[in-house]
Amino acid sequence: MSYLDFPRICFIGKFQADVSTINNDPGHYSPEVVKNPWWNRNGSNRFQFKGATVTSVTLGAGVCHTTHAADSLVNAPVISTNKPSMGKLVDLDSEQQMVSQVWGLQLCIGDQTSGNYVLGNFRAVNFRDITFGRAPQPADPINGASATYLSVIDVLEWGNTLSPAMSTLQKNSGNLLSIRFVVDLYDDRQDLPTPPDSTIIAPNPNFTWGRVSGAIGPANPSDPRNFVVGRFLRVPPPSSQSNAAAAAASVNLSAIKSGAVMALQQTAQLPPATYNYAPAIVDAPNDRITFDFGNSLCVTQSGEAYPGMGTLKASIKGSSANLPIPATTDDYTKRSWIYDFHGNGIAAAAAKSPLSLLENGRSVLVENPNGTYVDFTEWVYRANPEDESFDVTVMTLQWGKGISATVSLEDASGNGQIQTQANLTLPNSSPPDPPPYSPTNMPFSTTPGGVTYPPSVTTGADGTITFQVTVEDPLNPRDGLEGQVYRIAPIWDLDTNPDPWIAANILLHSTYPIPDTPVWETDVLPIFAQYMKLYPFMKARMDLTDETTVKNNASVITSLLTLPITNPSFMPVTRDLSSSRLATILKWLQQNGTSTSSSPPAH
């Protein structure tokens, strides 16, 4: 079960991702002056929903309610409670920002006042399947990006006056819900011209805000939380795409984040639509196919369905089934572009036949001809050398079901920035202007030690196998930027058109000596000073470069540093402090602290 099953609750609203950008350049981790703070030097890493509401509840067999009269959950709020503090959006590493995770997000779906609600904690997960071609004519590339978060909600509390849809969800789900939300239309412009005089610049009220569209449904505790155990449509291999679709230009991530990419040139003809990965399920017992195109189709800069998309329909190879995909703005607002098709033997026709999405009869998304798909059940790992090893699970599917297969495990770290290994594309974009300077490029996998794992594994009959990654001290190969980053890709010879984003991404910390009596100037201040340089928003709350301030707040700092990593108040917010450096700081605080209060401030 997943959000593609029933009952399904869809919502739409706004999200905020107040990311910090000084750490976009790994060279800023060294003591030298900041060369370029990028576009949000005072970012707090906060993540929240705002103004989101339920737009539909789907009960199955074509029953979809879009009015409050039909089910009182419709129009109810979907909020981030910001308890115990606001959720956080966190990169794995300065050089791996393509698996950023949301931590500590607590959500309330429904109205607590009326008793028709469910409250729970979103289990931390990274975004996946990012595209910078969501809006073919964006004001800037980040505004034209979108990505998916797919995880579960651990339910804390159900209301006592539930609507029919909520009652059914509670019955089908218990205390675990599946949730998928898509983020797009992100606004990274701090200031905007103020009409009518375009020479007047004013703060942008939408800075760091974007749109969120989501779906919630029952979860199967035995399924991976981060992908659908089902079918998977992907962009056809380049050789099978049209010349127009293949003529996308590569854009370096550093140019995107610096804001150096210029807006697209205005032309009389609309750029062609682009398409992105889409999961689907084939539900044989209920003769149903469900497609999720929420992160797959194009929109305009203002969020409407992109007029450059042609006539869309889903297809089953060898079947004449008519599966129209209207892809209207209303469909996205109310149903997040999730489409259900029922009856007439449709599930049997698709049981072992590939699915596709057609635009004007041309395949723009296709399933592998043999129905294969491979993925990791977790994409992000943080480790210290003393951990010795940790477990990674890989899953192989064929036609939506687990199958035994041999998967090769290959180093996909590369020799430069991980996030630029797969070319990020912007259809019909002009070549970017060069950034004002060359960002630092750190080495990967070039030192002794690090991670070790088997060259290949064979999954069991259920399609899964768990293998061990062993770790040892990577030493200090990146000047100022502690630890090392690794990326392991699953290679299955039957998955001939794999998703290049899929990988196990590992941040392995270095080991440092822990002094018996740490000294402020040499052992503690350099660590705190680096964080204050990279995240200057912290200074308004507490200046960690001032020894007296740190001593007077030692208990508070200790409590924040020792919270569970899942807590939104956990420090450092970036979750990138090695165990040995943490031990050094805690020892110094214990030996030198003068404070007695341990109540951490909200942040």
552, with CB counted inside 10 A (0-12, 13-18, 19+), is middle
Token pair belonging to 283:
């539900």
Q: In this predicted structure, what is the pLDDT of residue 26?
A: 86
Query: What is the value of pTM for the model shown?
Result: 0.91
Taking CB atoms within 8 Å and a gap of at least 24, the contacts of 325-333 are 325/291, 325/293, 325/357, 327/293, 327/297, 329/303, 329/304, 329/305, 331/305, 332/12, 332/213, 332/294, 332/299, 332/305, 333/12, 333/55, 333/213
Distance in angstroms (rounded) separating the CA atoms of residues 519 and 587: 10
Question: Sorting pLDDT into bands at 50, 70 and 90, what band is 266?
Answer: very low
Q: What is the pLDDT of residue 255?
A: 37
Query: In whole angstroms, what is the distance from residue 336 CA to residue 512 CA?
Result: 48
What is the average pLDDT across 138-163? 91
Q: pLDDT band for position 129 (50/70/90)? A: very high
The whole-angstrom separation of Cα 570 and Cα 579 is 14
Which residues make beta-bridge pairs with 154? 121, 176
Q: How far apart are CA 229 and CA 375, in angstroms?
A: 10
Is 78's pLDDT higher than 50?
yes
Name the DSSP class of 416.
S
Strand extents, DSSP E, 196-235: 197-203, 209-218, 231-234
pLDDT band at 560 (very low <50, low <70, confident <90, very high): very high
- Tell whether the model's pLDDT for residue 244 goes beyond 60: no
Handedness of CA 551, 555, 556, 562 (dihedral sign): positive
pLDDT higher at 260 or 393: 393
| 114-134 mean pLDDT | 96
Write down the pLDDT at residue 27.
84
Look at 595 and 19; give whichever has higher pLDDT: 19
Q: Tell me the residue ranges of DSSP E strands in 284-418.
A: 288-292, 312-316, 323-324, 338-342, 355-359, 362-367, 372-376, 380-383, 389-398, 401-402, 406-411
**What distance in Å separates the CA atoms of residue 592 and residue 586, rounded to the nearest whole number?**
10
Cα R_g (the chain), whole angstroms: 24
Go through the domains of the chain in sequence order and give each one's CATH number. 1-228 (no CATH), 230-241+273-367 (no CATH), 375-433+442-508 (2.60.40.10), 520-592 (no CATH)
* Mean pLDDT, all residues of the chain: 89
Q: Is 198 exposed, middle or buried (0-12, 13-18, 19+ CB in 10 A)?
A: exposed
pLDDT number for residue 288 = 97
**Contact present, 50 and 16 (Cβ < 8 Å):** yes
pLDDT of residue 550: 97
Least confident of 67-71, 369-373, 427-431, 559-563: 427-431
- pLDDT of amino acid 481: 87
In the chain, the percentage of residues whose pLDDT exceeds 90 is 76
Confidence (pLDDT) at 32: 78
Task: Give Cα 581 distance to the centre of its chain.
Answer: 28
Average pLDDT over residues 521-549: 95
